[in-house]
Structure formats: structure tokens, C-alpha cells
Amino acid sequence: MRAKTLRKAVAAVFLGIVGLHLAFVLATSSAIILYRFVNPPVTGIQMYRTVFYRWPTEKRRYLPLKKIPSRTRKMVIKVEDGTFYEHHGVILAAMKNAWKLNQGLGKNVYGGSTITMQTARTLFLVPEKNYVRKYLEIIVALEMEAFLGKDRILELYLNYAEWGKGVYGIEAAARHYYGKGVASLSVDQAIRLVTLLSSPIKYSPTTISKSAILRSRYRYLTNKFN
């Protein structure tokens, strides 16, 4: 009887997990298909920051991809995902390398996420680092690659990425930090803004020199684009 009861329990758990997966995929894929034509009214990360941190959201200023300077777009791709237009949303080797680095550090610092995965996290998940979130991130990233073109994914990323406390999107960030639109930024200002993407809550464009990682990103972009 105990064995039979155990089998039933295992079967129930398995069916429950499958059901949750199907519900998650159905919900996210439906939203993603909709996002081919309309812009998300709110994101997972925005709701998380509002509910748990009480950060007010600054006015979002949505820009079509073509209105974001090509040079700035190239900067983002260079430091966030150099093969963005070549992969299919997930790079297993990058995640494996990130896992090894995290094991050595004893904490989750690196994620190995592509721009597609970062967009998936921004739109549907939360910023807390754990392997369950990473797993869900992969699922959503693959869905996004299936239903959205690369340009649309990049456009969503640039318009919804977190750039400070309550600051979302590159145009809102440009106006928040520099008082002007992204198209009017100097090369150095654009570099600083893109550098900040790696740690937008702890630092600002004027304090990136306090972080070794951000200093490295800044030097790299300066050598490439100045």
C-alpha cells in the first residue's frame, strides 16, 4: 500500500509540474505574440520594484528602434551580447562558464544571459538571482525568439531595461541622468549610460569608476567608439 501511495503521490507531483509548465508557457507565449504588435503596459521587474521597494516609476519614453542612434545600439550589443543577431536566444556555453565562475566565487554573480534572456527576465520575471528564475528565463527567451524578430526583441530591451531606481528604458535614462534625449547624448555620455546597464541600481553614470567591472566596460567601449 505504501508503494502504491508513493507512486500516486509522485504521479500527482509530476502532473502538477507539467500543468504549471503548460500554464506558464501558454501565458507567456500569448503575451509575447501580443507584444509583436503592442508595447507592454507594465513589466515584471517594474511591478516587483514598485511592490517590494516602493520606488516610483519615472515617465517611460518609448522610442522605436530606428530612433535610437545606431552607434548606441551597437554599444549595447558589444558589451551585453556580441552575437545577438547570430544565436537563437540562449548560449549554453556562456551559461556554463557563468556557473563555473559563480562556483568559484561562492555566489551568483554572473548569469551568462543573452539580450533575449535579459528581455525575458525584464518583461516576465524578477531580478532575484536563482536557478529557477534562470530556467524560466530560458523558456521565455526561446519563446521570444520563436515569435519576435531580433529587432523587436532589441527594441523591447532598450525601452524596458532597468537603468536606475524607477528608471526604465534608454530614453528615460538619458533624460534622467543628462536632461536630454538619447539622440542628443555625446559619445562619452552614451558610453557611460550603456556601461551602467550592468549595475544600474548601485551606481550612476558618474560613479561607474567605483566598480572594477564597470570600469572595464567603460574602457572597452571607449576604445571601440571614441
Distance CA 217, CA 192 (A): 9
Q: Which residue has the cell 500569448?
A: 30
Provide the phi-psi class of 203: left if phi over 0, else alpha when psi is between -120 and 50, else beta: beta
CATH of the domain at 55: 1.10.3810.10
- Tally the domains of the chain: 1
Q: How far is CA 124 from CA 93, 154, 160, in A?
A: 24, 16, 11
For the segment 107-117, the average pLDDT, to the nearest whole number, is 74
Residue 119 included in any domain: yes
Residue 175 included in any domain: yes
Residue 210 included in any domain: yes
Residue 196 included in any domain: yes
Residue 86 included in any domain: yes
Q: What single DSSP character describes residue 210? A: G
**Percent of the residues in the chain that have a pLDDT greater than 90, as a whole number:** 72
Residue 12 included in any domain: no
Domain that holds residue 145: 35-225
Convert the pLDDT of each residue in 62-105 to its tens digit: 999 999 999 999 999 999 999 999 999 888 766 666 555 555 55
Distance CA 29, CA 23 (A): 10
For position 132, what pLDDT does the model report? 87
Model confidence, pTM: 0.90
**Residue 154 CB coordination number (10 Å):** 22
Question: Cell for 76?
Answer: 549595447
Residue 17 included in any domain: no
Say whether pLDDT at 190 is over 60: yes
Q: How confident is the model at residue 208 (pLDDT cuts 50, 70, 90)?
A: very high
Convert the pLDDT of each residue in 121-176 to its tens digit: 999 999 887 888 889 999 999 999 999 999 999 999 999 999 999 999 999 999 99
**Percent of the residues in the chain that have a pLDDT greater than 70, as a whole number:** 91
Residue 61 included in any domain: yes
Distance CA 5, CA 3 (A): 5
Q: How far is CA 151 from CA 48, 173, 217, in A?
A: 26, 20, 24
